[in-house]
Amino acid sequence: MLSALVLQAAVAANFAHPTPTPPPQTPVAVYQARRARVLAALGQCLTVIGSQGEVSGVTEDYRQDADFYWLTGLNEPHAWLVLQPNSRYRKTTLFLQSRDPEKERWTGPRDPISPDLLRKYGVDSVRRGTPENLLADAGLHHECVSVIAPAGLGKEEREDAELALRTAARFGLKVVYQRGLLADLRSAHTPDELERMRRAVAITLAGHQTAARATLPGVSERDVQTQIEYAFFAAGATGLSYSSIVGSGPNGAVLHWDQNSRLLKDGDLVVIDAAAEYGRYAADVTRTYPVSGRFSPAQAAVYRAVYRAQEDIFAAIKPGVSMADLQHVAEESLRRAGYLADFIHGFGHFVGLDVHDAGDYERPIPAGAVFTVEPGVYLPAQGFGVRIEDEVLMTGSGYELLTRDLPRKLEDVEAWVSRVRRPAP
C-alpha cells in the first residue's frame, strides 16, 4: 500500500495542472450598443426574438444560440427580447422564464427581478413569462412589425417569427422582413470579439503542436484526440469549438469522421480538424500530418494541390470579394490540378460565436469578418485525404492570416513534425 501511495504522489508531482485564466466578462455596454444598432435598423417597426439554444447532457447544460447571445449575453432558455423603437422609456424588454424553487434546487438559484438585474443586462425592463401582453400594447404604437428571425425552409415558422406575424395581423400592421439583419451585423467583429478569437486561435495552435508530436505509429486516434484536447484546456480554452476529428488513413477521407477508433500506422496521413473555444468565440483549424514524418510521392502530389488551392484563394482576397467568388477560385484551382471531383465541400465559412457563423456568402466580405480557407481532397480508394484549414481576418486593405504561426507548406510540415518529435536531450 505504501509503495502505491508513493507512486501516486510521484505521478501527481509530475502532472502539469492547467491553470487557465477565464476571459473577462463582456461589458454590458457592448450588448447595449448592439441592440441600439438593431433598433436603428428597425426604423418604426417593433420586433421580438426568442432564445433558440439547446440543452445537452444529464445535467441539462444549456448553450444559447448565437443571435440571442450576441444581443443579450444571456445563457438561459425560454427567454425573449422585445424591441420597441417608438417607446419612450421601454425600448428594450427582456423576458426570463418564471422561477421554479424546486427546479432551482437542482440547477442553482436564479436572480430575482430587481434593479441589479436591469443593470446586469442593460435593458429598460426585465419581466418573467412570455411577451404576448407587451406586444398587444406595443402593436398600438408602431406602424409595422419586423421579422428578424433567420429564415428556415420548414413548414412551420419559428415561434418568435410566428408571434411577430400574429401581432401584425391583430393590429393591421405592415410586415417588414429583415431576416438577414442579425447576420449582417454579426459578421463584422469588433476589437473585443477579435481579441477573444485571436486567443482561441493561439490556444488551438498550442494544441496542434501537441498533435504533431502525438501522431506516431501504434497510437490510437482517440489518444491523439485526448492529448490535443488536454493541451487546449491547459492553454486556457473555455470549451471545444466542435467535436475533434482525428481521421487516419482511410478515415481521413471521411469529412466528419467522429469515431476516432483506429490505430495510426506507418505511412498513414492523419487529418486533424480540432479547435478550442475561448469566451464563447470559436476557432477552426485543420492540419494533415504524415505518421512516418514524410509524405509519400502520391500523398505529396495531393497535398501540394490543396496547398496551391489555398494560395490561390489567399491571392484573391481583397476588398469587394465575396465568399462565392472565393469558392469559384478554389474550384478552378482544384479543377486545374485534376481533383475537383474529390473536393466535396465549400472552401470555407464564417467563424465567430459559432464555428459556422452568420454571414452573407454572396455579398462582399466586410472588414472585421473572420472566415476559414479550407480546401480538401478526399480519396477513399487510395486510403487517405488531405485538408488544410486556416483562419483569415478580412481587413480594409486585404487580409490577415490569423493562423500564420502554424506550418502548412509541405516541406515546413515535415521539418516541424521532425523537430517536435525529436527526443529531448
Residue appearing with cell numbers 476529428:
245
- Residue 269 pairs with which residues in a beta bridge? 290
Statement: residue 282 has pLDDT above 90? yes
What local confidence, expressed as pLDDT, does residue 17 receive? 57
Cα–Cα distances in Å, from 238 out to 112, 193, 278, 288, 379?
A: 28, 15, 5, 25, 35
Q: What percent of the chain has pLDDT over 70?
A: 95
What local confidence, expressed as pLDDT, does residue 18 receive? 62
Q: Write the DSSP assignment of 201-217 as a string of letters.
A: HHHHHHHHHHHHHH--T
Query: Can you give the pTM of this predicted structure?
Result: 0.91
Q: Write the DSSP assignment of 408-420 as a string of letters.
A: -SHHHHHHHHHHH
What local confidence, expressed as pLDDT, does residue 5 receive? 37
Domains in the chain and their CATH numbers?
28-186 (3.40.350.10), 188-421 (3.90.230.10)
> 57-66, 75-84, 231-240: lowest mean pLDDT where?
57-66
**Mean pLDDT, the chain, whole residue set:** 92
